[in-house]
């Protein structure tokens, strides 16, 4: 487990630079999840470290394979200085622990809901899991392990999350693109959905 996390951290450092802060959270019955913070100009990126220690397993499967299966870490990018986004550390750790706690397999297009704001005053309590490969390339550990995918998280307002449930992730992303939505703005309003 430690070896793969060393490789994951090295990949994050290569892609994002040196973290300027880190925090760790341990939930009862789960492995420790760390959240690393990287500052890149006017953007702060938070990346989980620990979610990929174990492969995500189908909760209906009678036996979980300890080696094979999808692995991932989460990455959230927001603009610096507009809100106290460092409060997102624990919520991100909760999302990263969800495969172990709830038996979820986190994939692009999925919604993850916290039921509370990502940080105090945030208009977002859920995120859309985006396609990997843009910011941090997948990491291929030694076979037979599956690649570790670094999944970007896009914060959604309550209205956007409800609209996504009805219309799907692709249509919501197209709506954001059409309206030039700054998905890194920690205070942004919901995109027009009419």
133-171 pLDDT, tens digit each: 889 999 998 888 899 999 999 999 999 999 999 999 999
67-78 pLDDT, tens digit each: 788 999 999 999
Residues of the chain with pLDDT under 70: 1-2, 59-60, 62-64
The confidence score (pLDDT) of residue 1 equals 59
What radius of gyration, in Å, describes the C-alpha atoms of the chain?
16
The confidence score (pLDDT) of residue 62 equals 67
The confidence score (pLDDT) of residue 67 equals 79
CA distance 88 to 18: 19
* Four-CA torsion 30, 32, 33, 34, nearest 10 degrees: 170
The confidence score (pLDDT) of residue 18 equals 96
Q: What is the largest CA-CA distance in the chain?
A: 49
Three-class SS of the chain: CHHHHHHHHHHHHHHHCCCCEEEEECCCCCCCEEEEEEEECCEEEEEEECHHHCCCCCCCCCCCCCCCCCEEEEEEEEECCCCCHHHHHHHHHHHHHHHHHHCCCCCCCCEEECCCCCCCCCCEEEEEECCCCCCCCCECCCCCCCCEEEEEEEEEEHHHHHHHHHHCHHHHHHHHHHCCCCCCCCCCCCCCCC
The model's pTM = 0.93
Residue entry with tokens 């090295």: 10
| Angle at alpha carbon of residue 154, lines to 180 and 194, rounded to 5° | 50
The confidence score (pLDDT) of residue 104 equals 85
């Amino acid at each position: 487990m430690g070896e793969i996390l060393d490789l994951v951290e090295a990949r994050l450092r290569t892609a994002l630079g040196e973290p300027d802060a880190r925090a760790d959270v341990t939930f009862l019955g789960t492995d420790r999840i760390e959240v690393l913070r990287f500052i890149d100009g006017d953007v702060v990126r938070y990346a989980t470290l620990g979610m990929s220690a174990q492969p995500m397993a189908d909760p209906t499967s009678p036996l979980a394979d300890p080696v094979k299966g999808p692995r991932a870490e989460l990455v959230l990018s927001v603009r610096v200085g507009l809100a106290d986004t460092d409060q997102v550390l624990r919520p991100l750790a909760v999302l990263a622990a969800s495969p172990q706690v709830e038996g979820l397999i986190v994939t692009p297009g999925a919604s993850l809901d916290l039921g509370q704001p990502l940080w105090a005053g945030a208009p977002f309590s859920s995120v859309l899991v985006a396609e990997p490969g843009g910011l941090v390339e997948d990491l291929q550990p030694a076979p037979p392990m599956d690649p570790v995918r670094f999944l970007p998280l896009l914060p959604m307002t309550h209205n956007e999350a409800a609209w996504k449930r009805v219309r799907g992730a692709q249509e919501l992303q197209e709506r954001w693109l059409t309206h030039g939505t700054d998905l890194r703005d920690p205070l942004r309003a919901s995109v027009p959905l009419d």
